[in-house]
């Protein structure tokens, strides 16, 4: 390693070098040092195939290195009608590449991919780009989006992911006219929980730090996969209880103790999961300025209902009508309530959340069935009552008419 000059020495097009730091640290350090740590860690995954360093260190799922020209062709010159989404980092484009290698393919041929293009306007975006390569380059799980490759060429920074057919959970919850069925909501919540549990339970725990509906992507079968690891952070090691860091993330999802102190733990992610679970249950956004003042903050509005089984059904997304599991709603409300505990230590682990959510798939006690059963029972009672009333009226009529009839017979 002595004759190598830093983080990107193995990449063909890089121009800068950084001094070496430890690949993992839990202390709060200068931003430049953090970037260097990410870069050094990323170098393990982004080493060129002919690098003379020990090949046993290479990940068998080696990331592909794309040229800018290849990705430009794969996305049709980054044309506007291929845009899948936009964020602070830049745009995400739909593209096509050949199955074997990095060559672009014609639309509809080869493999469909999502290409994230970073805006070349600052260190922060570049650091998040490197963090994404660092984490997704090493982590592989069914509930994490697969990173296929990258491009680093001059000031261009791009990432290539597997294409997620059904887009984000955010779109399905808040922008589609057809509501997600209850069973699909439970499936998505469980899958997302499994992704977080995988990050937290590893030998080197990782805190996702930006868990929200727009970062949960869905494949054809509505399997949930976490995306966008730009803000992910290595968790505390050894006897450390937290990581001290600058506060980043999305307002409405961040845990209150993290916002106030900058102390980051896996329980910060658990709180964010509780917010998303509330959004799945209610069909409401975590923050919505269009609602009345007392309902704009979802957690503040929903918390009193979560603790009361008699009121919890008032939280259910009205678009579901009565097509939801009665016990399922009760259990989801309980899980959300525990995840949103103001005491971070009282929140469950994500592994516990997964175990609590998994049995909910098999529940079939839908509210609509109970409703029809009650209607039927009420109908039988009503018919019985009406029948009794009719008999009583008939008897009354008979008794009232009988004397007159008898009198007429006597007069003859």
Task: Return per-residue pLDDT of the chain as tens, 412 residues.
Answer: 434 333 333 333 333 333 332 333 333 333 434 333 433 333 333 333 333 333 323 343 589 999 999 999 999 999 898 899 887 677 899 999 998 899 999 988 899 999 998 876 654 577 778 888 888 888 899 999 999 999 998 888 999 999 999 999 999 999 888 999 999 999 999 999 999 999 998 778 898 988 999 999 999 999 999 998 888 877 666 555 556 566 666 778 998 988 888 888 899 999 999 999 999 999 999 999 999 999 999 999 999 999 888 899 999 999 999 999 999 999 999 999 999 999 999 999 999 999 999 999 989 888 888 665 565 565 555 555 555 555 444 444 443 444 444 444 444 4
Confirm or deny that 116 is annotated as ligand binding. yes
Q: Nearest 10 degrees: CA dihedral of 36, 39, 44, 50?
A: -110
Q: Say what the pLDDT of residue 27 is.
A: 32
Q: CB within 8 A of 126, min separation 6: which ones? A: 35, 118, 157
pLDDT score for 376: 54
pLDDT (0 to 100) of residue 48: 34
Q: What is the pLDDT of residue 358?
A: 96
* Burial class, 369, CB count within 10 angstroms (exposed 0-12 / middle 13-18 / buried 19+): middle
pLDDT, tens digit, for every residue of 280-325? 999 999 999 999 999 999 999 999 999 888 899 999 999 999 999 9
Residue 47 has which token pair? 């080493």
Give the active site residue among 210, 228, 269, 317.
Answer: 210
Q: Is the pTM of this model over 0.85?
A: no
Indicate if 219 belongs to the active site.
Answer: no
pLDDT of 73: 94
């Amino acid at each position: 390693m002595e004759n190598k000059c830093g983080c990107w020495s193995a990449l063909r097009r890089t121009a800068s070098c950084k001094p070496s730091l430890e690949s993992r640290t839990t202390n709060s350090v200068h931003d430049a040092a953090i970037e260097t740590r990410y870069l050094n860690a990323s170098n393990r995954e982004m080493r060129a195939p002919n690098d003379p360093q020990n090949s046993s260190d290479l990940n068998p799922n080696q990331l592909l290195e794309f040229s800018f020209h290849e990705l430009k062709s794969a996305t049709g010159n980054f044309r506007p009608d291929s845009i899948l989404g936009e964020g602070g980092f830049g745009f995400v484009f739909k593209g096509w590449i050949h199955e074997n290698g990095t060559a672009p393919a014609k639309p509809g041929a080869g493999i469909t991919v999502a290409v994230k293009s970073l805006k070349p306007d600052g260190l922060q975006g570049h650091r998040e780009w490197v963090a994404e390569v660092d984490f997704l380059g090493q982590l592989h799980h069914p509930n994490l989006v697969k990173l296929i490759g990258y491009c680093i060429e001059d000031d261009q920074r791009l990432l290539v992911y597997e294409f997620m057919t059904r887009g984000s959970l955010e779109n399905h919850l808040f922008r589609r006219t057809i509501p997600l069925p209850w069973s699909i909501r439970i499936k998505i919540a469980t899958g997302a929980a499994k992704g977080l549990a995988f990050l937290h339970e590893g030998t080197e725990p990782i805190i996702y730090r930006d868990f929200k509906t727009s970062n949960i992507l869905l494949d054809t079968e509505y399997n949930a996969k976490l995306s966008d690891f730009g803000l992910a952070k290595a968790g505390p090691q050894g006897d450390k209880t937290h990581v001290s860091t600058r506060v980043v993330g999305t307002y409405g999802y961040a845990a209150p103790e993290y916002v106030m102190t900058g102390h980051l733990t896996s329980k910060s992610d658990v709180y964010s999961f509780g917010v998303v679970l509330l959004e799945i249950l209610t069909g409401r956004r975590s923050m919505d300025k269009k609602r009345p003042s007392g309902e704009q903050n979802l957690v503040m509005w929903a918390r009193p209902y979560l603790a009361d089984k008699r009121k919890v059904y008032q939280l259910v997304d009205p678009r579901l009508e009565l097509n939801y599991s009665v016990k399922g709603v009760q259990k989801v409300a309980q899980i959300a309530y525990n995840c949103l505990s103001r005491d971070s230590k009282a929140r469950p682990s994500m592994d516990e959340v997964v175990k609590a959510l998994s049995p909910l798939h098999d529940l079939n006690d839908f509210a609509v069935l109970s409703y029809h059963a009650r209607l039927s029972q009420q109908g039988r009672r009503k018919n019985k009552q009406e029948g009794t009333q009719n008999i009583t009226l008939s008897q009354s009529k008979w008794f009232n008419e009988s004397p007159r009839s008898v009198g007429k017979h006597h007069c003859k």
